[in-house]
Amino acid sequence: MAAVASTQGDALGRLVVVNWTVEALGLVRALQDLGATDLVLVGTSPATAVEANLLAARALGEVRYLEASVAAGVETFAEFLVRSVEVGTAQSVIVLPHRGRGETDAFSRLTCTAIHRACRGQPPRIVVAVEDPEATHEFAGLGVATIFYPGFLRAALLAHACVDLGVLRFMFALLRGKLRVQSWPLPAELRSKSFRDACLAVEADPEGRPVTVLGLFTAEAGMLVNPGPAYTLAAATGLLVLTGQDA
């Protein structure tokens, strides 16, 4: 079975984290745990104040810290992102909330605007962490791929723990990196078949490790999780697969 390199690979590529502070050292650790080797951290703290905290991270890969902020102006910051960060070459950009500069999410939106301009409308994958879920719609049109609300994640994990510890364990497994949710190309022989056929046919990865087909992708609806066994794969563009093991 031919794998789709873009979604099945382990490489995180070049990553940029904006509004980074020393408190977010855990993010650096998480990225490096997943294999990130080229990190650019952009923050408002003086470089001298953070350098000592990055020593351990730098032992695991390239980690660069640059002092800059959109507070200097969107255009100025966009130019900085082009010139100093080369944001256009990054695979993903993570925008963290920057507290103490007026309304936090508004500040993040300005940052995204700067990234959008720096990339001339074709930004890399942008992941923004917001503090207020109501601010989500403000990021429309800025090329933001994922808007993350950490507050809901915390609440949801604890709420699921109250209902079913098994489900909490499943979420932990997804978060701790042993399991992966990947998109695989749809094998040609399954194109005229149903989702049930795909589930029965795709039982293991090329290395023989068990996998589970979770859903599929279509051009119209995007991701469809568990569409039903009879769902035809004619319009499917790929499969959503759970890989890895957690035991």
Partner 1 sequence: MKFRALTTAAIVTLWSASAHSVMAAPLRLGTGSKGGDFDLLGQALVADLAAHGNEVALAPEITKGSCENIRRLLEGSLDFALVQYDVAAEAYRASLSVVPGGADDQFGGWMCKISPELARRADLRTVVAISDSAVHMLVRRPVRLDDLDAIGSAPIFIGKDGSGSFETARVILGAGGKPLEQLQLFNGSADEALAAMGRRELLMMLRTTGRGHADVQDVLDSGLAALNPLPEDVLNRLIDGYPYYRVCPIEPKHYRGGLEFSLPTVCVSAVLLTAQQKSGVVVDTSETVGTLLDSLGRIAADPQHRELGLELRFRGFAEREPIPLHDTAATRESRSNWTAGLEIVGLLIVLGLVIFFGRRALRRRGIATGFAFEGQLSNPLVPFAAFALVVVCSTYLVWWFEHDSNTRLRTLNESFWEMNTFATGNFSADALKTSGARLVGAVATILGLGLLAWFTAALTNIFAQDQTRLWRRTREHFVVLNFREDMLPLIRLLRAPGPARLRSLHVVVPDALPKRVRLQLGKIKALTIHYDNPEAPENLAALRLPRASRVIVLGGEAESRSATSYDPLRIARAVHQACARDPHNLALQGKSGHAARAITVASSSEQTSRVPLQLPVTLVETSESEPDEIFEPFSGWLVPIDNRQLGYTWMATACRDPAFAEFFSGIVAFSDANAEVYTIALPAPVHGQTWQTLRRALYALPAPERGGGVVPLGLYRASVSEETRRPSAHADLRTRLLLNPPLGTRVAAGDMLVALCEDETTLQQLVRHLRASA
To partner 1, the closest distance from the beta carbon of 120 in angstroms equals 22
Please state, in angstroms and rounded to a whole number, the distance separating the CA atoms of residues 217 and 182. 11
Tell me, residue by residue from 102 to 121, as one string, x for binding to partner 1 by CB under 8 A and - for no binding.
Answer: --------------------
Q: Both tokens of residue 14?
A: 């070049």
How distant is the alpha carbon of residue 123 from its chain centre? 14
Residue among 179, 218, 235, 237 that touches partner 1 (CB under 8 A) = 179
Q: C-alpha dihedral over 32, 34, 36, 39, to 10 degrees? A: -50
Site for partner 1 in 207-226 (CB under 8 A): 209-215, 222-226
Out of 47, 140, 156, 234, the only residue in the binding site for partner 1 (CB under 8 A) is 156
* Residue 198: other Cβ atoms inside 10 A: 23
Among 34, 49, 106, 140, binds partner 1 (CB under 8 A): 34
Region from 53-61, 79-87, 108-116, 142-150 binding partner 1, contact rule CB under 8 A:
142-150
Contact between 61 and partner 1 by CB under 8 A: the answer reads no
Strand 236-244 relative to strand 179-185, pairing = antiparallel
| Cβ-based nearer residue to partner 1, 64 or 76 | 64
Query: How many other CB atoms are there within 10 angstroms of residue 43's CB atom?
Result: 22
| Residue list 68-107, contact with partner 1 (CB under 8 A) | 91-92, 94, 99
* Residue of the chain from 153, 191, 192, 234 that contacts partner 1 (CB under 8 A): 153
Of the candidate spans 46-54, 55-63, 103-111, 123-131, the one that interacts with partner 1 by CB under 8 A turns out to be: 123-131
Interface with partner 1, residue 164, by CB under 8 A: yes
Question: Exposed, middle or buried, 187 (CB in 10 Å: 0-12/13-18/19+)?
Answer: middle
Residue 196 binds to partner 1 (criterion: CB under 8 A): yes
Footprint of partner 1 on 36-55 (CB under 8 A): 36
CA–CA gap between residue 161 and residue 9 (Å, rounded) = 31
Helix, strand or coil, per DSSP, at residue 145:
strand
In angstroms, rounded to a whole number, what is the distance separating the alpha carbons of residues 237 and 182? 13
Out of 84, 154, 189, 232, the only residue in the binding site for partner 1 (CB under 8 A) is: 154
The closest alpha carbon to 114, from 91, 134, 95, 100, belongs to 95
